[in-house]
Every structure is written in C-alpha cells, then in structure tokens.
Chains A and B, each alone.
Chain A
Amino acid sequence: MYTNIVELKGVSKCFGDYKALETIDLTIQNGEFITLLGPSGCGKTTILRLISGLEKPDTGHIFINGQDVTDWPPEHRHLNMVFQSYALFPHMTVFENIAFGLRCRKIAKNEIVERVEEILRIVKLTKLAQRKPDQLSGGQQQRVAIARAVVNRPLVLLLDEPLSALDYNLRKDMQVELKQLQRKLGVTFVFVTHDQEEALSMSDRVAVMNEGHIEQLGTPRDVYEEPANLYVAEFIGETNVFETKVIRSDKQTVEVKVEDKRFTFKNKRGLKTRQEVCVTVRPEDLAVWRQEEVGEVSDDMLPGKVEQVIYKGSIVELVVRLESNKRIYATEFFNEDDEKLDYQIGERVWVNWIPGWEVILPV
C-alpha cells in the first residue's frame, strides 16, 4: 500500500465555458480523514467525482495507490462513494443494497452474507435488513449508504455532503459515528462539505476551496489559527477585519494603525512598508472591558459602545460599535467566579486583545 493513496497532478476540469476546477495538485495520505471545504460551486464535488472516475479531467493525471487511473472507468478504481442523495436502490432491501457491490465483483454467496451481516452489525441495522429504503428514517438511510460503500473495503471512501440532509442533532451524532467508523476501519475518507464546523471537528486535514482552486491545505488548527489569506480567515469561523497599511516594517516587527492607534506586531509574513494589509482578530480573542474595570486606559485599547448583547448560554456575543463607526464582534465566555458579564446596550466599553493573537494578512 502506498502512503500517498490518491494523487492529483495538474488536474483541471471545465464544464462548457465554466471552469469548475483550475489546475490543482493534491496528495491524500493513506488512512487520513481529509475534508474538501468550500461554498457551493467551488469545485469540491468536482474533485470527488474526478477521483471516483464519474468525471474525466481535461488535463492532468490521477493516481490511486501508485497507478495512473486517469482513463479507468469508476467500476475498476476500487473506490466507493456515498452520495448526497444516498442513491439507495428503492426496489431493493437494505441487505440487497449492501450486497450489490459484492455481487458485482462475483464474490461467493456465503462470503457475501457474512460480510453484509458484519457491516450491518457495525452500523447497527441488523434488524432492518429486510426493509426497503423508503421504510427507513433519514439517519438509517444514511447508514445504509455508508454500509453499502464500506462493505466493498474500498481503498478510499468518498463522501459527498453525506450529512447535509439530516437535522442538527442527528448530524452531530453521525459526525461522531463517522469519525469512529473511520478509525475502526482505517480507511481513507475524502469528505466534501460546506459546513466549516463539520470540517474542523472531523478532519485530520482540511482543504479550503474557492472558485476552483485550493486556498489552503492544513490541519483544522492551522487553517483556523494561521489562515493563509483573507478568504480562509473569513470563511472559517467569524473574524473581525481591520483594513490598513503598513507604516513601517523590518524583519522582526511591523507597525500598523488600527482605529487611529499605532500598534507594533511581530512580522511573521515578511510584510513590507506601505503594503496594504488586514489585521484580523477572532471574536473569542477579543477582551471587552467595562468602564469601571479599566483603571488606566492603555494604548492598545479601542473605545466603543455596546450595540447588541446576544446571550447564548455558555457564552455572550457582543456587537460593539467602535468610534470610527466600525462594528466588531466579541465573544465572552462565562467564568464560574465571574459575574461581570452583564453588559447594557449603549454602555461604553474598551476592547483589546493579547498581542500576537492577531493575524495580519496581505490584501
């Protein structure tokens, strides 16, 4: 087994005049859970269909387990796909649906029964084996779709937004189940979603996509804490963006103006003087201070007024209007011995963050 189970080299794809996928390179490692994340039309499903063989690339080559499979039809690639619509065969029982792939490969009857029963146990559907798909709930259908793919022991399992049709609670449960299943089977999962929370919580690596190319590929922590560019920063989670210009820079530090105050930050990305940049800070990294908490106003504090208070149980979300009329979002966590989180609308507050928690991105 190769470590690089799937490799896309210089692959591109057009549909008519529409460029679905720019030239991309992507390497997927054996056994990892990789997520292709992006808004609809970003090309994530196209990548999945190219790997599966349901589409052919216009340029480039696709390798699976070290072999060039670019011209192979789907039925020879030994991968399986879980469709967004599940695509269960409505005229077959759960058992027949799951056995379909094995029968196509002419596996002995008793082995088929054995393997289908084993997978039914794993997805907890043994009792429903003789039901038809339309007699199952959405979550059960979802599990049949996964079982039908996994039972073939594919090299890679491709999942096209498999959880998008489920309601919130079921989706949460299925996320955990899917992750457990992937660990148990040790199969490579390529998962497509537009839900960033899903992507962050399940994946080993996330590829953030936009308009047919990959903006960033990295661990969930990387893409959240060290976004490669403004698109990634804004797409993953919420963030406050201050557009500004570099006043002065050297190898270690960079000086910028945020809300008419001068800040000196570490220069992690080799920014140059007069370069247009964005200073981004996550809402949860912002500290909001009330008038009485602030003894002496320090230089890094931005004054503002509370515009909205959104109570969410364990957290409070604040919308603060700064003096420049810019609106920013801040999230405050409840602390057991902290009862000060009682903000009033219109109240004067001060906002700051711990230097180094900001991310400065070139525009």
Chain B
Amino acid sequence: MGELDSGVGGYFAGMKNNSSFKKICVTVVWSWLFIFAMVPVLLTLITSFLTADSSSLVVFKPTLQNYTQLFNSAYLKILLQSLYLATSCTLLCLIIGYPFAFTIARSKSRHRALLLLLVMIPFWTSSLIRTYAIMALIKAKGILNTVLLAIGLIHHPLSILYSYSAVLLGCVYDLLPFMILPLYGNIEKLNPDLLEAAQDLGAGKIRTMVKVVFPLTMPGIIAGTLLVFLPAMTMFYIPVLLGGAKNLLLGNLIENQFLSANNWPMGAAISMLITVFMGAMILLYWRNAQSKDKQNLQELV
C-alpha cells in the first residue's frame, strides 16, 4: 500500500488538496472491498461453524461438525473429481492457449487487434447463454451430429452431451480467454532479439522454446493457470447443463447445500475449504515470486 500511496501521491503532487483527494480515493476503494468482499467472507466463515436447522436455516450453536463431515469419503471423491477436472481443463487451456497466444503476439500489429478481439468477443455474451449454445451444438440431434451425419463421417449420432467430455469441453471453452490473455501479455513483451540470438547460437526451434521462451513466459503461464484452475474448481452450471446429473463437482455440491438441501453451514464449510485452498495456492505463488526477488537483491548486494 505504501508503494501505491507514494506513486499516486507523486503523480498528483502538483495538485491542490492532493492529500485529501488521496484519502478519499483510498477510503472509497477500501470501504468497497470491506463491504462487498470481506463481510460476505466473514459471514460465510461464521456460518460454517454454526448448526443447520430446518425451520430457521441456521441456529447459533457453535460446532465443528461441518468440517469433520468433510472427511467423509463421498465428499473426498467429489473433491478429487473436481481437482481432476480443473487440472485437465487447465492443461488443455495451456496446450491450446499457448500456441494461440504466441501466434497473436508474433503476428503483424494490424492483425493482432482483430485476433485479440476474437478472443474477447465471447465476453460480450453471458457465459450461461453460451453454455446453452454448446448444448445446441453437441446434443444428439444438434448441429455437430447433423453435419457429421450429412457428410457421412459417422453413421450414428455421437452422444457427447451429458458426459465428462462435454463438461471438460464447456470448461475449456469458457475459461480459455483467461489463459490466452495473460500469456499474450507476457509473450508480447518478449524481446524478439532473444529468439534470434538463440537461433544464431545454434539452437533449433524446440530448444529455443524449451530453454528460452518457456522460462521467460513463466509468469504468464502461472497467471493463466491460476485464472483457469481456480474458477474451474468451482464451476457449477456447466457441469449441470452439460454433464447432466452424473457429474457432481464441488461447485454443484455447494449450490446443492445452499439451495436444495437447505444446509447453509455445510455449504459454507465447503466454500471455506475451497477459499483456504485457493488462498494457499496464491500465497505459494506470491512467496515464490518474492523469494526470487529477495535472492536477486541479496546477490546484488
């Protein structure tokens, strides 16, 4: 915060009343974050330690039962399934997104704007509506099957909808831009001289990629991975719409606890578990980045 303060202060140094302007800005942002981010999290945290009640939702009877129940094998299975889906989704996004981001970043600047626009157009439509669109595409009598049947590639309609593949497809489709954009930002900053230098020193394309491009774009890879993995863990409408009732994941579980089972404390406990898990991941990344900085600093001294 200190850094930001001095940065903003420095920028507006010439302005009259700059200190009160600064205070107002900071207060507004912090109040916003407190009311709309901190308070809900605190409420969830408190709820997770209370007891469920069929008539009044929650009663003030502190308990740890919600958490101990989480170690039930059924819940653990759902957790593992969610982890599996999130991991495969992230890997697929990375495999599809990296070449795409690389191509955009290396294309001529007039083509670049158009390609970036193509990545961002899906954001203009609600992701729920886009998921229904996917349903229309892949259902038994959907566009995909009709076309494949018409050109004679298949003889029986493929049953993709309501399968694990459909859920994965939906997640990858929905989250791909979150992988591409940070990767693009990182690859675009990569000095093209470095690629030429590697080539000049005798490195072929693969070695250049592995030894130069990947290490240098690691921040983008990590940022993209976090941005895809974390939402993929808690996706709930995509598994419902594309996976049918078969694929219960963490997101659906929470939704169920709150909306159908009316067990708010249990839903809150699962939410807290995921929040802690994600917080730990971000912290790990942050620590790692910071220790590298420190190491550099120490070497310099």
Contacts and interface: CB of A to CB of B under 8 A. Distances in A.
A52 B201 CA distance: 11
Contacts of A80: 200-201
Contacts of B200: 52, 54, 74-75, 79-81
A74 B202 CA distance: 7
Contacts, number: 63
Interface stretch (B50-58, B147-155, B188-196, B226-234): B188-196
A149 B202 CA distance: 11
B203 A104 contact: yes
A85 B201 CA distance: 16
Contacts of A135: 296, 299-300
Contacts of A83: 193, 196-197
A135 B201 CA distance: 23
Interface stretch (A86-94, A297-305, A307-315, A337-345): A86-94
A56 B196 CA distance: 14
Contact of B202 (A75, A85, A91): A75
Interface in A79-135: 79-81, 83, 85, 87-91, 100-101, 104-105, 130-132, 134-135
Interface string B164-206: 0000000000000000000000000001011011111111100
Nearest to B192: A87
A90 B202 CA distance: 18
A13 interface: no
Contacts of B193: 83, 85, 87
A73 interface: yes
A81 B200 CA distance: 7
B299 A54 contact: no
Nearest to A78: B202
Contacts of B212: 89
A88 to B, nearest CB: 8
A152 B199 contact: no
Interface centre among B199, B201, B212, B296 (most CB of A within 10 A): B201
A143 interface: no
A100 B210 CA distance: 13
A100 B203 contact: yes
B14 interface: no
A245 interface: no
Interface string A125-159: 00000111011000000000000110010000000
Interface size bracket, A side: 20 to 34
A88 B216 CA distance: 12
A230 to B, nearest CB: 36
B111 interface: no
Contacts of A100: 198, 201, 203, 211
Contacts of A152: 201-202
Contact of B204 (A75, A90, A130): A75
Interface string B265-301: 0000000000000000000000000000000100110
A142 to B, nearest CB: 14
A76 B229 CA distance: 42
A163 to B, nearest CB: 17
A101 B299 contact: no
B216 A148 contact: no
Contacts of B299: 130-132, 135
Interface string B208-246: 000110011000000000000000000000000000000
A87 B296 contact: no
Contacts of B215: 91
B112 interface: no
B201 A104 contact: yes
A149 B201 CA distance: 7
B141 interface: no
Contacts of A75: 199-204
Given A83-B193, A87-B191, A89-B194, A148 B296 contact: no
Nearest to B199: A74
A104 B196 contact: no
B202 A105 contact: yes
Nearest to B193: A87
A87 B197 contact: yes
B22 interface: no
A54 B202 contact: no
A130 to B, nearest CB: 8
A135 B300 CA distance: 6
A121 to B, nearest CB: 21
A171 to B, nearest CB: 20
B10 to A, nearest CB: 24
A87 B194 contact: yes
Contacts of A73: 199
27 contacts: A52-B200, A54-B199, A73-B199, A74-B196, A74-B199, A74-B200, A75-B199, A75-B201, A75-B202, A79-B200, A80-B201, A81-B196, A81-B197, A83-B193, A87-B193, A87-B196, A87-B197, A89-B197, A91-B216, A100-B198, A100-B211, A104-B204, A105-B202, A131-B299, A132-B299, A148-B201, A149-B201
Given A54-B199, A100-B198, A149-B201, 4 more contacts: A75-B203, A81-B200, A83-B197, A134-B296
6 tightest A-B CB contacts, nearest first: A104-B202, A101-B201, A87-B193, A87-B197, A75-B202, A91-B215
